[in-house]
Amino acid sequence: MSFSAYILKRIGGLLLVLLVTSFLVFGLLYLAPGSPLAFILGPRGGTPAQIAAVTQQYHLNDPFIVRYFAWLGDLFRGNLGDSIVYRQPVSDLLFSRAGTTTALVSLAAVIIAVVGILAGTFAALRGGWVDQVVSTLAAIGLSTPVFVVGVALISLFAVGLGWFPTFGVGSGGFDTIWHLFLPAVALSVASAAYLARITRTAVNEERTREHVQTATVRGLSPRLIVRRHVLRNALIPITTVLGLTIATLIAGAVVVENVFALDGLGSLLVKAILQRDFAVVQAVVLVLVVAFVVVNAIVDVLYTFIDPRISLGSKQ
């Protein structure tokens, strides 16, 4: 499949997924009890007249289908709507938070890839006690709740040693990397542990393959064998897992965002769901779906570089 055909197919699939998810999410929100009234009227509530006026203004009592298509219509005109709670255009809310999420997830992705692949490879190649230690650490990493990791990191490195700030995203550039380092580590621990295990298994499997044994028998240097014959082949499962992990981090960073008081998309989504802020929920879900599809498309493209036998969009 040519690259452009692949892109077209992907975009078509994306649009379909977007339509289905937005319908499902809208429907589920609609069915769930509760309303955004408290946030429009304020904590003191309102008179029946005020409640009626607001219900009318925000179309809270319109049938589900009418509201869904109104939203869809706005979307086609490039309008994501206004947040009921924040009284701001949703696009403004998204824009300011997308940056934080992108920075956090990118940093975490780098940590996951570097730590996960190195630790897994190291464990597989060295074996023995190194393997034992890495496997044990990976098990601990996988089973420790992320907020425990976050709180522990803050207590140790922010409060105890004072090396890092306790919260926030900083003022851009290096300051942001410094601020986001602990949250990214907290976010990475479980995924890096998982990736280490996958890498270890994949590398072990490749090492027993015939072409690797042949290369060994031919007396090629172990370093070359590992790099060219073992790691390269092991990269396929590693890339798959890494791609999926990163995509889930985007929405899954909620806990880390709360612990480190970051304004990411995850916490915006959770808050919006609980506040029944429909427009915000829909917009964040759209962004998440797009991100998920894009990350997977990137993984697909990467496959073709790792293994030229794989063609774009193939089922192999």
Partner 1 sequence: MVSRKKAAGTAAVLTVAALALAGCSGAAKGGASGPAELSLDLNNLATTTPAGTTPVDNVKWNLPYEPSSIDPIFTWNYAENTVDASLCESLMRMKPDLSQEPGLASKVETQDDKTVIYTIRDGVKFWDGKPMTAEDVAFSIQRQTGSSTKSYWADYFKNVASVAVTGANQVTVKLSKADVLFTQAMGSAAGAIVEKAAVESGGQAFGTPKGNLQCTGPYKVGKWDSGKSLTMERNDAYWNTAVKPLVKQVTFSFIADESTAINALRTGDVDGQFFYLPPAGLSQLQKSDNVTTTFGKSFVFWTLAPLNKDGALGDEKIRQALSLAIDRPALTKVVFQGAAIPAPTIAGPAMWGYQQDTFAEAAKKYGTDPNIEKAKQLVQEAGSPKTPIVLAVQGSSAVHEQTASAIQAAGQAIGLNVQTKVIPVEQFGNIYFDPAARKGLDGFFTTNYSDFADPLNVYAFFQTGNSHDYIGWNTADDQITKALATSNEADRAKLVTDIQDKVTTGLPWIPLAYEPTTLIQNKRISGAVPSFSYLYAPWAVTMGGTK
| Interface with partner 1 (CB under 8 A) | 33-35, 37-39, 41-47, 49-51, 53, 82, 85-88, 92-93, 96-97, 100, 151, 154-155, 158-159, 162, 165-169, 258-261, 263, 268, 271, 274-275
Closest residue by Cα to residue 250 from 294, 313, 280: 294
Nearest-approach distance from CB 187 to partner 1, in angstroms: 15
Q: Where are the alpha helices (DSSP H) in 1-127?
A: 3-31, 37-41, 48-57, 64-76, 90-126
Cα(184)–Cα(151) distance, integer angstroms: 13
82 three-state secondary structure? strand
38 three-state secondary structure? helix
Q: Which residue, 131 or 263, has its beta carbon nearer to partner 1?
A: 263
Q: Which residue, 103 or 226, has its beta carbon nearer to partner 1?
A: 103
Q: Which residue, 88 or 132, has its beta carbon nearer to partner 1?
A: 88
Q: Which residue, 95 or 305, has its beta carbon nearer to partner 1?
A: 95
Cα(17)–Cα(11) distance, integer angstroms: 10
Q: Which residue, 139 or 152, has its beta carbon nearer to partner 1?
A: 152
Q: Which residue, 35 or 296, has its beta carbon nearer to partner 1?
A: 35
Nearest-approach distance from CB 69 to partner 1, in angstroms: 24
Q: Which residue, 141 or 165, has its beta carbon nearer to partner 1?
A: 165
176 three-state secondary structure? helix
Cα(87)–Cα(39) distance, integer angstroms: 10
Q: How many CB atoms lie within 10 A of CB 108?
A: 25
Cα separation values, 91 from 80, 257, 262, Å? 6, 20, 18
Taking a C-beta distance cutoff of 8 angstroms, is the pair 199, 116 a contact? yes
Nearest-approach distance from CB 170 to partner 1, in angstroms: 10
Nearest-approach distance from CB 103 to partner 1, in angstroms: 12
Nearest-approach distance from CB 168 to partner 1, in angstroms: 6
Nearest-approach distance from CB 70 to partner 1, in angstroms: 18
Cα(150)–Cα(207) distance, integer angstroms: 37
